[in-house]
Amino acid sequence: MGRPIGPKKVHRYSVEFKLTAVKLSGMPGVQVQTVAEALDVHPFMLSRWRKEARDGILKGRAPRGPGAARRVREIKRLQVLEREHAPIKSG
């Protein structure tokens, strides 16, 4: 099967979304790959946002509040599940 015919979908993400993704991916014990999968973005895109944030191109503050803590818990839970199910995937 080839690529679908028609216009290519282009996602535009807000600066807040990007900064939140960068912040989540920089937390101890959280993998970039897991954050990318949880947010449904390509890992390369997240890596690019991280570089832009380091270089000062992506500026601002990630939103704070109870939602951020919940997202971190969900991502860490996802990582645990991935580790537990890794033998199933490779088996």
Domains of the chain, by residue range, sit at 15-90
The answer, yes or no, to whether residue 90 has pLDDT greater than 70, is no
Give dist(CA 79, CA 20) in Å, integer: 18
Q: Which residues contact 34 (CB under 8 A, 6 or more apart)?
A: 75, 78, 79, 82
Specify the DSSP class assigned to residue 42: -
Render pLDDT for 10-63 as a digit per residue (tens, 0 to 9).
Answer: 678 888 889 988 988 988 888 898 889 888 899 999 999 999 999 999 888 766
Confidence of residue 73 (pLDDT cuts 50, 70, 90): confident
What pLDDT, on a 0 to 100 scale, did the predictor assign at position 3? 61
- Strands of the chain, DSSP E: none
Confidence of residue 81 (pLDDT cuts 50, 70, 90): confident
pTM: 0.64
Instruction: Count other C-beta atoms under 10 Å from residue 25's C-beta.
Output: 23
Q: How confident is the model at residue 70 (pLDDT cuts 50, 70, 90)?
A: confident
